[in-house]
């Protein structure tokens, strides 16, 4: 990951979106879903499933 921007849902202050720049989406997805990171996700109340999307240039 090279950078990120955080957005908070205007209607739900408990809902957030991170826009992340990464050179390897698959590697980032593996890191996010690694069971070794379950404690970190629980500490920050991250709920699964986590949606990972890619920018598409049209």
Give the span between the Cα atoms of 17 and 35, in whole angstroms: 21
Q: Which long-range contacts (CB under 8 A, 24 or more apart) does 43-52 make?
A: 45/14, 52/25, 52/28
DSSP per position, 40-57: HHHHTTPPSPPP------
> Please, which residues have CB within 8 angstroms of residue 54's CB and are 6 or more apart in sequence?
25
- The predicted pLDDT at position 53 comes to 83
Gyration radius of the chain over CA positions: 13
What whole-number percentage of the chain has pLDDT above 70? 100
Q: pTM to 2 decimals?
A: 0.64
Domain residue limits, the chain = 3-43
């Amino acid at each position: 990951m090279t950078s990120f921007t955080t957005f908070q849902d205007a209607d739900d202050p408990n809902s957030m979106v991170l826009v992340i720049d990464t050179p390897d989406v698959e590697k980032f997805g593996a890191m996010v879903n690694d069971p070794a990171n379950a404690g970190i996700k629980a500490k920050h109340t991250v709920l699964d499933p986590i949606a990972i999307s890619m920018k598409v240039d049209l």
